[in-house]
Amino acid sequence: MTVISLAVLCGCDRTFDIAKQVGDSTIWMTFIPSNEYDSTYFYVQATTPLFGKAEPVTTAGESVEVRVNGQTLTLKKSRSRSIPDRMQCYVTGHVFQPGDVVETSASVAGIGTVEASCEVPEPFPSYTWNARVVKRPNKRSMTQVDIEYDDPGDGGYYGAIIRQYVETDEQYQSRDPETGEMIWGEVQHSAGTAYLTPCAMADTDGLSAGSEDPVIAIPRYYNFLSNKSRERIVQIWSDASSPSQKDSRRRMTLTSYNLADSGRMDYTDGEYHGWVERSIKYSLVLYRFSESYYNYLKARYNSDHNDFSSLGMAPASFVYTNVSGGAGVCGAYVVSETDWIELDD
């Protein structure tokens, strides 16, 4: 055991201060304003320290406040998302706009008061994008997207995800049980939209220039208990780490696995008698993050993707916080979407 402890200490750039987890409770809160939803949730909880407490610390009697550009918002307590005496949830129907300055605070009797703030960022800068389908023998095809955008010069924090819209017409023959004759059924039409899962930029000629390579994150839903089926995996990157640029433009290449391929498939000579015709369109959902929220998402990624985490040895601590006197995050983002485009396979 001693050998493992020494290896951990020698392999880290900074020490892990376990004292913050011992003895006293900490107020944890999170608030992620954006323009994506008409409801934004505020969570507050008094954490139970690692040692010194046998029972969970309650958050009963808490008080919370959110101010936008100096004006106090009306918050309504959400009974469905609150956990009695443990985690309290409030909701506001305010729709946040770029440039909004958000200030939050929470108080719990016997523990103290914490504060945090952020500014809702400007939308994704002016950009152009192109996409192509990459066919791979005996493998799922991929969609590769190049985004070239104006550099505002402020070291922005960005994200993107590819959407795929599929329309399918299909018709099959079946044998009449009485006559034995092959008859055609009705033409069936279906359509649906899905977010494509990001993948590493393998088997492509893509190149990211002037930015760090993108990593995956789950904005908003990564901050509290949620229905995992609603989670949206987004590729995020930062321009802050690299000052290099060309003609005030930056470029980022993203790749995702396709759920389906377009084209016509004919089974009239196969085991199944019929045909399927499928058309596909693509769009991009673009994000711009505040620095605090990007740092939180990147820290969560680093915590889950390292040699120690694969061994179950990642430290049980808050990976990032901008909450003064406590823990959690107050961060914001703005989201926009491109028009749908069709691609040649």
| Per-residue DSSP letter, 271 | S
Residue 306 pLDDT level (bands cut at 50, 70, 90): low
Report how far residue 61's alpha carbon sits from residue 325's, in angstroms, rounded to the nearest whole number: 19
Show the tokens assigned to 29: 């809160």
Position 309 pLDDT exceeds 70: no
Reported pTM: 0.81
328 phi-psi bin (left φ>0, alpha ψ -120 to 50, beta other): left
Position 222 pLDDT exceeds 60: no
pLDDT at 37: 85
Position 53 pLDDT exceeds 70: no
For 323-335, what is the mean pLDDT?
A: 93
Position 138 pLDDT exceeds 50: yes
The per-residue pLDDT of the chain, averaged, comes to 80
Q: What is the pLDDT of residues 110-125, one digit of tens each?
A: 889 999 999 999 999 9
**293-309 CB burial, b ≥16 within 10 A, e <16:** bbbbbbbbbebeeeeee
Report how far residue 289's alpha carbon sits from residue 232's, in angstroms, rounded to the nearest whole number: 15
Query: Between 246 and 105, where is the model more confident?
Result: 105
Q: What is the pLDDT of residues 166-203, one digit of tens each?
A: 999 999 888 888 888 888 899 999 999 999 988 865 44
pLDDT at 3: 39
Position 10 pLDDT exceeds 60: no
| All domains in the chain, ordered by first residue | 24-120 (2.60.40.10), 127-289+337-342 (no CATH)
Question: How many Cα atoms within 13 Å fall on the side-chain side of residue 90?
Answer: 21
Report how far residue 57's alpha carbon sits from residue 26's, in angstroms, rounded to the nearest whole number: 9
